[in-house]
Homo-oligomer: A and B are copies of this chain.
Amino acid sequence: MEKYFEVLCMCPLFRDIAHWELTKALHCLNARVFSFEKGEAVMNEGEPAKYVGIVLTGSFQIVRTDFFGNRSMIANLVPGELLGESFACAGVEAVPVSVLASEAAEVMLIDCLKISHSCSNACQFHQQMIDNLLQIVAAKNLVLHQKIEVTSKRTTHEKLMAYLMLQAKQFGSLEFEIPYDRQELADYLEVERSGLSAEIGKLRRQGVIEADRNRFKIYKPFDV
């Protein structure tokens, strides 16, 4: 368990919880680590939400697949980030998404009830974790608002530019990598992959962006 201390310490769930308390906390919470191969699911659409997961290594994608097989990409999760926390906190009986490993990955699962209920050992950290969870869940809300902001645009061109500008802003540079391949980006933008490729090609020819696989560079921030 110790080898995960670095990522756990930077995990917002344990913010303001002393190092010496962390080991005790993990034991009290009955935290367990699980490994996943690329494509395996930590959580499946329709299942009840019981666990909060902390990404330790690798990355995961939050996706939803509808009745007709159309896939929608919600978000990408990297080490230190939480998964399932909103559904567990809301106590939903059927989560609306699946969470899949996008590469070999490890996650630490914690029973959500063990966080909110003080244990018989009268551990001190429960309250701090609930405060932390509140901030994390609120921040997740912003991530969803961002996706809505991008996908509410009406054309592939506008969606792509909105997404790229947002990434550039968050990355603090006009050159950056995104966590999605073409199909996944299309699923995030809610457009057709072929249409997305065509749009990227057009922007590339116009000299607006440079795009190589998942590496992008924006030359002109605005479409003048």
Chain A residues at the B interface, C-beta cutoff of 8 Å:
64, 66, 70, 72, 74, 85-92, 96-97, 116, 127, 130-131, 133-135, 137-142, 144-149, 151-154, 190
Contact of A127 among B127, B137, B151 (CB under 8 A): B127
Counted per complex, copies of this chain come to 2
Contact of A134 among B97, B137, B144 (CB under 8 A): B137
Closest 3 CB pairs of A and B: A89-B138, A90-B138, A86-B141
Residues from chain B with a CB closer than 8 A to the CB of A144 are 141, 144-145, 148
Apart from A72-B152, A87-B142, A89-B135: 9 A-B pairs, beta carbons within 8 A: A72-B148, A89-B137, A90-B139, A96-B142, A96-B145, A97-B145, A116-B131, A130-B130, A134-B137
Residues from chain B with a CB closer than 8 A to the CB of A131 are 116, 130
Listed by A's residue number, 26 A-B pairs whose Cβ atoms lie within 8 Å are A64-B149, A66-B149, A66-B153, A70-B152, A70-B154, A72-B152, A74-B148, A86-B138, A87-B141, A89-B137, A90-B135, A90-B138, A90-B142, A92-B142, A96-B145, A130-B131, A130-B134, A133-B134, A134-B137, A137-B138, A144-B144, A144-B145, A151-B151, A151-B152, A151-B190, A154-B190
In the complex, A11 Cα to B154 Cα: how many Å?
37
In the complex, A66 Cα to B150 Cα: how many Å?
10
Contact of A140 among B85, B130, B141, B151 (CB under 8 A): B141
In the complex, A142 Cα to B88 Cα: how many Å?
11
Contacts A90-B139, A137-B138; is A149 near B96 (CB within 8 Å)?
A: yes
Of A87, A127, A141, most B-chain CB atoms within 10 Å:
A141
Contact of A96 among B88, B91, B135, B146 (CB under 8 A): B146
